[in-house]
Amino acid sequence: MRKESIIVIYGSNQDTAEEIADKLGAETLSVEHLSHRTIENSRSMILGVDLQLDGQLTPSWQYAHQLLQQEDLNGKAIAMYVALGTRQEYSAAEDFCKMLKEHGAHVVSNVQYVATPQWNTDYWISMVSPSV
């Protein structure tokens, strides 16, 4: 990965991540390969988060959450969408965004859910692209 890049990090939905990356000229990376170096070298990150049925993060995204929590995210623009899971009364995605903000990240948009009739990839990209 080249320094100062935009990276789309995905869990289960590689197709959506690749579509977003293609339209933004970004790179993709499986969440399982996320590292401190990747975070340090990225200018912006787009997180395609997966949730379990109870609204909690999947194990690989729990690890990513812990990794990001250890980083200084000042100056990094981060956008998030939920690739697997639906909006519920409780969703760990909103807590994830709160943690990112607390660690200095500029969270670009509200969490959007791919598995809803309102999801439109092109519209979502047009909303986040000026900031990432």
Mean of all residue pLDDT scores within the chain:
86
Mean pLDDT along residues 29-33: 96
In which region does residue 4 sit, left (phi positive, over 0), alpha (psi from -120 to 50) or beta (all else)? Answer: left
Q: How confident is the model at residue 78 (pLDDT cuts 50, 70, 90)?
A: very high
Mean pLDDT along residues 44-62: 91
Residue 3 pLDDT greater than 50, yes or no: no
Alpha-carbon separation of residue 92 from 20, 22, 99, 126 (angstroms) = 22, 27, 10, 25
More confidently predicted of 76 and 124: 76
At 59, which helix (H) or strand (E)?
Answer: helix 59-69
More confidently predicted of 3 and 64: 64
Round to whole Å and give the CA distance between 7 and 24.
Answer: 9
Sequence-ordered strand ranges (E) for the chain: 5-10, 27-30, 42-50, 77-84, 106-107, 112-113
For residue 33, the 8-state DSSP code is G
At 94, which helix (H) or strand (E)?
Answer: helix 92-102
Q: How confident is the model at residue 1 (pLDDT cuts 50, 70, 90)?
A: very low
Mean pLDDT along residues 103-130: 81
For residue 123, the 8-state DSSP code is H
93, 49 contact by CB (below 8 A):
yes
Residue 112 pLDDT greater than 90, yes or no: no
